[in-house]
Structure 1
Amino acid sequence: MINAVKREIPEYIEGYGKVKPFMGAYANYGEVRKVSTKLKSVKPGENKILSSIKEALLKCDIKDGMTVSFHHHLRNGDYVLNMVLEEIAKLGVKDITVAASSIFPCHAPLVEHIKNGVVTRIYANYMSGPVAEAVSKGLLKYPAIMHTHGGRARAIESGDLHIDIAFIAAPTCDSYGNINGVEGKSACGSLGYAIPDAMYADKVVAVTDNLVDYPACPIEISQEYVDYIVKVDEIGDPKGIVSGTTRITKDPVGLKIAKLAAQLIDESGLLKDGFSFQTGAGGTSLAVAAYVKDIMKRKNIKGSFAAGGITGYIVEMFEEGLFKALFDVQCFDLKAVESYKNNRAHQGMSASMYGNPHNKGAVVNNLDVMILGATEIDTDFNVNVTTGSNGIIMGGSGGHSDTAAGSKLSIVVTQLTKARLPIIVDKVTTVTTPGETIDAVVTERGIAINPRRTDLLEKLKDSNLPIYTIEELKAMAEKLTGIPEKIEFADKIVAIVEYRDGSVIDVVRQVR
């Protein structure tokens, strides 16, 4: 069958089931149900602290075919996923589903568990490194399922993704299971991606390297959700958890793109009192924030909030009074962790509050402007951030699709060419985010506005911005690079890309 972004999708996929095709970004809003959760009550005097991960697995009655989940706030410094899977393998358990909010290069040991049948399914919002390569080569028994950040929360809350045991890496945990991410040697800040797991998993195990006396303060995930606590020496490597700082690009091309994007935001009419904003942690995205900051200061504009994964640069804008509040689902650097710990208006949010389309209103719905990246973008404005130019999985939506759908103005910032390849193509390798939710593409050579946005085109017609059609930008790119050869794929589906509402927007096939 052909879905709404013109992708041919099988009606049934082995290891996944019947396919619900993507019918449009706003096709599946309405009344939905959340699943009830199963819990075992704790009597007065019962001790939740266990001696090891192995004991926790046995207490949780680990069996073949179960689903275990992990969060990614420790990013490329995480030790917990590897520790847990090692113990599962030692117990001889097979056919495990790993539901990790994201998978990084540090999770390379997972490849061996895939090869020996310990792990046969993976759910993730983002995947890079050896595990992504192994999945792309077809080593995983069943197709991996790629969610958005909001889509994962939706899947958990709806029962589409049922978690048997959630393992929560806890930078600080007290003796009764109250958790926060702002204290301890592995402090990572907000724990927003772990909250749906804690609330909906059958069993929840907190794994901590900073066990403190009751009660922990502050509390982000409360004792009422936690079954067991395991103290270990280290839950992660701080150097991989947060960088000291995230830096604005010094590259002249990146700065030119950022300046054009900031001018576009200004010309759009959205940059006024009450302005809300999100940008990524990349150098060009931060440069957009720097130019926006200059305009806000010059015009004395006071924004309402900034959101997303928060960086130190966004914290600076907040501390200078340019935003009244921050909504934070994960901290990207040490300055953000410190601010989240100390500033009352720097507020945490769960993944569901952030981007779940099936709740009573996600934060992304209130965004004015979102700055996005792209591996590829096509002439229908569909964006790929899932696979690289070689067809190998190298990322995933994360919050890309959620924020694009929610914001009033979603802007892709990208160089016109990268590594001698055009970024604008006829048809992207993999559709991550549908073109109907992308409003503008900003490159160093000019800007393309989605023809759907007739209001924006009308507003910009008398501006000095270099406006082109997407086809004109594509032609400019191809003049510089030529037209690349198409990647050849086998028939085998190695990953399924779900849109935030649970419909299938695309599939990833094994590279020949």
Structure 2
Amino acid sequence: MKNVLGVEVPQYIEGLGQLHIFDGKRYSGTIFQQELKAPKGRSGKIVASIEKVVELCGLKDGMTISFHHHFRNGDYIVNMVMDTLAKMGFKDLVVAASSLTSCHHPMIDHIKNGVVKRIETSGMRGELANAVSDGLMDLPVIFRSHGGRAYAIASGELKIDVAFLGAPSCDRAGNANGYNKNGDTLYDCGSLGYAMVDAQHASKTVILTNNIVPYPNTPCAIKEVDVDYIVKMDAIGDPKGIASGATRFTTNPRELKIARTAADIMENSGYFNDGFSFQTGTGGASLAVTRFLRDKMVNKKITASFALGGITGAIVKLHEEGLVKKLLDVQGFDLEAARSVRENPSHCVISGHHYAGSGLEGAAVDQLDMVVLSALEIDTDFNVNVLTGSDGVIRGAIGGHPDTASGAKMTIVVAPLIRGRIPTILDRVNTIVTPGATVDVFVTEYGVAVNPMRQDLIHNFTSAGMQLSTIEEFQKIAEGIVGKPKRVEYGSKIVGLVYYRDSSVIDVIRQV
């Protein structure tokens, strides 16, 4: 058989099987143009609308689509895409979003109308979470940690047919970033770490962007070789919900006391040495830990080799002061983090898989010395809940909680003893997200409790003159103030499956 250039080529060779004969239509495995040569710049990746890109991707009923949550409560992408798919008549889709927030309440109608059959996510909030807790869906929502989700995608357990990923900047070839170096920074979200694994492993990857920038848009989070199509949008999100000017610094005396104690724990743990590594969160107490930790680093004249995770302005400040050598950023939480990742070469964007993937090859969480995490509830076995409230209703996200707790040499959980007249410490948490075997220290405004499994830490802290209590003693104090809470009464229907980072089911969430 002759190809379009007139070369005689056999259609079949023993040992190789059927051959693809050059026909002038294939470019990188995707048909963009019928001509022998694609237009300059391969602009065939740019598609005029969501409807058209859905057709090109070959989406069918029952397939799995994915989204990222780096735009947080300012996201427009999920609702725009889902509304379009509903109008196009799709049914029984699986939505595999890295997380869902309060702005995604229109998903309720798509579930009721049969557009969405099943959801996989790290978290869920607001009206959607309330409706799911009340039994909205026929199939339970699968909740995975960030690392568990990333590894499920990378290993093929969670197969994504089409990934719809928003990006504040993208060139015509598909190199995409969470920030725009060429002008408008209004929609900057910083890192696109949770979107990167989707782009790499989805059968089709679509970038939705408000900025088409000159080629090459480098360094890039998502590379052109992983992108099939691009859709230019007028707006991809609400800037007020994407990032705030500054993450809140607490003035709450209770949070400050917890933070100061947590910093003392870090200092006396045996891990607070030159070149240590750490991760802290974004809550008031966690941010304050970063502040107190700074003073201790200056006094001891030591620096950290890296800080990991969701990056905040407080961590950026340590980096720019030379106290933290490198930032490994899977998610930016404020405008300072977005600015830093644009400007600082040692502020590195990493994927969710690199951050916390649970495979045997390891991940960045396995290099952590210390992590500070929050909790909605903790029980006397040190199991932690960050997903459901004291009423059993879904109102949070797993995030990287069990991933970092598993990887770090020392895991510190911080929480007040009482929230809204409900004790934080229970006989058993409503939903186990992070198993107690991976939690080492609990810090509250009343003091410190150490997991009995960590006799080495108990020795270090008592040798430093720190007073320790048992978690049961803290439970008695809380119950002496507000009484013992009644257990939540659940129905029989399972509305959520909580997967541990190895894809085993660690707990279930029942209808309330």
Q: TM-score, normalised by structure 1?
A: 0.91
Counterpart of 2:135 in structure 1 is 138
- For residues 411-430 of structure 1, the aligned pairs below 5 Å read 411-430=412-431
Contact 1:186 1:235 survives alignment (8 Å)? yes
Once residues 170 and 282 of structure 1 are traced to their aligned partners in structure 2, the CA distance between those partners, rounded to angstroms, is: 26
The CA deviation at 1:58 is 1.1
Q: Which residue identity lines up with residue 269 of structure 2 in the other structure?
A: S
Q: Which residue of the partner structure matches residue 203 of structure 1? A: 204
Match of 1:163 among 142, 160, 164: 160
- Distance in 1 between residues matched to 2:76 and 2:308, nearest whole Å: 27
Asked if 1:244 is matched to 2:241, the reply is no
Secondary structure in 2 matching 1:204: strand
Residue 332 (structure 2) pairs with residue 331 (structure 1): yes
Residue equivalent to 2:14: none
Distance 2:314 2:462 in 1: 32
Distance 2:502 2:360 in 1: 11
Q: 1:248 Cα deviation (Å)? A: 2.0
Are the equivalent residues in 2 in contact too, given 1:205–1:227 (CA < 8 A)? yes
Q: Report the Cα distance in structure 2 between the residues aligned to 1:492 and 1:159, rounded to whole angstroms.
A: 29
Residue identity opposite 1:135 in structure 2? V
The CA distance in 2 between the partners of 1:40 and 1:228, in whole Å, is: 10
Superposed CA offset, 1:295-348 (max 9, x none): 110111111111100000000011111111010001111111111111111111
Are the equivalent residues in 2 in contact too, given 1:39–1:202 (CA < 8 A)?
Answer: no
CA distance in 2, matches of 1:160, 1:138: 26
- In the alignment, structure 1 residue 114 sits paired with structure 2 residue 111: yes
Which SS does the other structure have where 1:64 is aligned? coil
Question: How far apart, in 1, do the equivalents of 2:474 and 2:191 lie?
Answer: 39
C-alpha distance after superposition, 1:171-211 (max 9, x if no partner)? 11111111011104311111000011001101111111111
Partner of 1:67: 64
Q: CA deviation at 1:395?
A: 1.1
1:203-259 Cα shifts (integer Å, max 9, x gaps): 111111111233223322111111111111100011100110012210001111111
Determine if contact 1:396/1:432 at 8 Å carries over to the other structure: no
Residue 343 of structure 2 corresponds to 342
Q: How does 1:313-462 map to 2 (within 5 A)?
A: 313-462=314-463
Cα distance in 1 for partners of 2:373, 2:445 equals: 15
Asked if the contact 1:39/1:203 (under 8 Å) is kept, the reply is no
Report SS of the residue matched to 1:489.
coil
Q: Distance in 2 between matches of 1:360 and 1:339?
A: 29
Tell me the SS of whatever aligns to 1:218: coil
Distance in 2 (alpha carbons) for counterparts of 1:407 and 1:492: 36
DSSP-derived class of the 1:85 partner: helix
User: Take 2:438 and 2:429, find their aligned partners in 1: how far apart are those partners?
Assistant: 16
Find the aligned partners of 1:55 and 1:359 in 2 and give their Cα distance.
Answer: 40
Q: In the alignment, residue 126 of structure 2 is paired with which amino acid? A: G
RMSD, matched Cα: 1.3
Residue 31 of structure 1 corresponds to none
- Give, in angstroms, the shift of residue 39 of structure 1: 6.1
Select the residue among 62, 87, 90 that pairs with 2:87: 90
Other-structure match for 2:478:
477
Q: Give distance in 2, aligned partners of 1:472 and 1:39.
A: 64
For 1:357-391, what per-residue CA distance to the aligned partner results, in whole angstroms no more than 9, with x for missing partners?
A: 20522110111110000010000000000100110
What 5-or-longer segments of structure 1 have no aligned partner? 1-37
- How far apart are the structure 2 equivalents of 1:63 and 1:415? 48
Q: In structure 2, what is the Cα distance between the partners aligned to 1:39 and 1:388?
A: 48
- How far, CA to CA, are the matches of 2:469 and 2:131 in structure 1? 40
The worse-fitting range, judged by mean Cα deviation, of 214-223 and 140-149 is 214-223
Q: For residue 25 of structure 2, what is the aligned residue in structure 1?
A: none
How far 1:61 sits from its partner (Å)?
Answer: 1.6
CA distance in structure 2 between the partners assigned to 1:499 and 1:299 by the alignment: 38
Displacement after TM superposition at 1:127 (Å): 1.2
Instruction: Identify the range of structure 1 (454-463 vs 266-275) with the bigger mean alpha-carbon deviation.
Output: 454-463
2:176 paired residue number:
179
Residues 264-313 of structure 1: CA distance to partner in whole angstroms, max 9, x if unpaired? 11111211101111000111001111111111101111111111000000
Matches of 2:60 and 2:467, distance apart in 1: 60
Partners of 2:422 and 2:29 lie apart in 1 by 53
Q: Deviation at 1:491?
A: 0.9
Q: In 2, Cα distance between the equivalents of 1:287 and 1:96?
A: 42
CA contact (8 A) 1:260 1:465 kept: no
Aligned amino acid, residue 228 of structure 1: Y
Deviation of 1:465 after TM superposition, in Å, equals: 2.3
Off by >4 Å, runs of 4+ in structure 1:
41-44
Give 3-state SS (helix, strand or coil) of 1:461's partner: helix
Instruction: Provide the C-alpha distance between the structure 1 equivalents of 2:214 and 2:460, rounded to a whole number of angstroms.
Output: 59
Structure 2 residue 505 is the aligned partner of structure 1 residue 508: no
In structure 1, the residue matched to 2:267 is: 266
From 146, 150, 154, the equivalent of 1:153 is: 150
What is the rounded CA distance, in whole Å, between the counterparts of 2:164 and 2:149 in structure 1? 16
In structure 2, the residue matched to 1:224 is 225
Identity fraction in percent: 53
Deviations 1:482-506 (A, max 9, x none): 0111110011110000000111100
Report whether the alignment pairs 1:78 with 2:75. yes
Instruction: Check conservation: 1:207, 1:229, Cα contact below 8 A.
Output: yes
**How far, CA to CA, are the matches of 1:39 and 1:140 in structure 2?**
38
Cα distance in 2 between the residues matched to 1:393 and 1:245:
27
Name the CA distance, whole Å, in 2 between partners of 1:337 and 1:97.
31
